């Protein structure tokens, strides 16, 4: 129970922090948990999506968020599109180890930085690279698809929603 309380505390800290930064957070709906767990259902909340996609968001914004590892372990979609992140953000982004989708469109990430993210985020299925040096090199998309068949580098559209939490993609165990 104490682990659940600590995770809940960290989750609330991340939500407050992201909202303070004028970002957005999507939390897993409680639904059946409310019926099963009653008042304790809130303790099982999980963050599925974090959107920090404004020019005011920087690598430092991410560094503040990753101080709460229990809260970010459930994040499946990280939208950093159009923010001012650069290669300094790579280490904090790698802390989101269960990411399935990453949006870095219009950022200052270098080609090498994006390639590092793709190689290091083992569960990553899709990355939006529109407006980055990586997006200009379409031949690299083919290389990615050969190395990581489930990781699609999309140079065009932003992601609209986090993938459903219940999916067991690429061997990712369901959240408990």
In a domain, 8, yes or no: yes
- What local confidence, expressed as pLDDT, does residue 30 receive? 60
In a domain, 169, yes or no: no
Which of 106, 94, 110, 83 has its CA nearest to residue 157? 106
In a domain, 136, yes or no: yes
Give the count of domains, the chain.
Answer: 1
Tokens of 145: 């698809």
In a domain, 135, yes or no: yes
- What local confidence, expressed as pLDDT, does residue 123 receive? 92
In a domain, 167, yes or no: no
Neighbours of 162 (CB within 10 A): 20
3-class DSSP assignment, residue 6: helix
Distance CA 56, CA 75 (A): 21
Tokens of 153: 């580098």
Q: What is the domain-level CATH number for residue 43?
A: 3.80.10
Tokens of 25: 């957070």
State phi, psi for 112 to the nearest 5 degrees.
-65, -35
- Stretches where the chain sits below pLDDT 50 are 136, 138-139, 142, 149, 162, 164-176
- What local confidence, expressed as pLDDT, does residue 148 receive? 55
Distances in Å between the Cα of 167 and the Cα atoms of 139, 156, 162, 163 are 30, 25, 11, 8
Distance CA 51, CA 160 (A): 11
Domain of residue 8, residue span: 2-162
Spell out a b/e string for 75-110, using b for 16 or more CB atoms within 10 Å of the CB, else e: bbbbbbbbbbbebebbebbebbebbbbbbbbbbbbe
In a domain, 175, yes or no: no
- What local confidence, expressed as pLDDT, does residue 175 receive? 43
Q: Is the dihedral of CA 118, 121, 126, 129 positive or negative?
A: negative
- What local confidence, expressed as pLDDT, does residue 86 receive? 92
In a domain, 168, yes or no: no
In a domain, 36, yes or no: yes
- What local confidence, expressed as pLDDT, does residue 159 receive? 63
């Amino acid at each position: 129970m104490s682990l659940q309380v600590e995770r809940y505390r960290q989750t609330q800290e991340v939500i407050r922090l992201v909202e303070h930064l004028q970002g957005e957070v999507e939390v897993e709906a409680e639904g059946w948990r409310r019926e099963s767990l009653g008042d304790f259902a809130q303790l099982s909340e999980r963050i599925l999506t974090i959107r920090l996609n404004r020019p005011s968001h920087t690598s430092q914004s991410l560094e503040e968020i990753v101080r709460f590892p229990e809260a970010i372990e459930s994040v499946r979609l990280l939208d950093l599109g159009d923010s001012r992140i650069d290669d300094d953000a790579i280490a904090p982004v790698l802390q989101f180890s269960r990411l399935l989708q990453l949006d870095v469109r219009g950022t200052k990430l270098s080609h090498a930085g994006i390639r590092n993210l793709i190689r290091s985020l083992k569960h990553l299925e899709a990355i939006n690279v529109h407006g980055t040096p990586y997006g200009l090199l379409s031949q690299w998309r083919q290389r990615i698809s050969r190395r990581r068949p489930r990781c699609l580098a999309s140079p065009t559209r932003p992601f609209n929603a986090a993938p459903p939490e219940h999916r067991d993609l690429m061997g990712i165990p369901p959240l408990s």
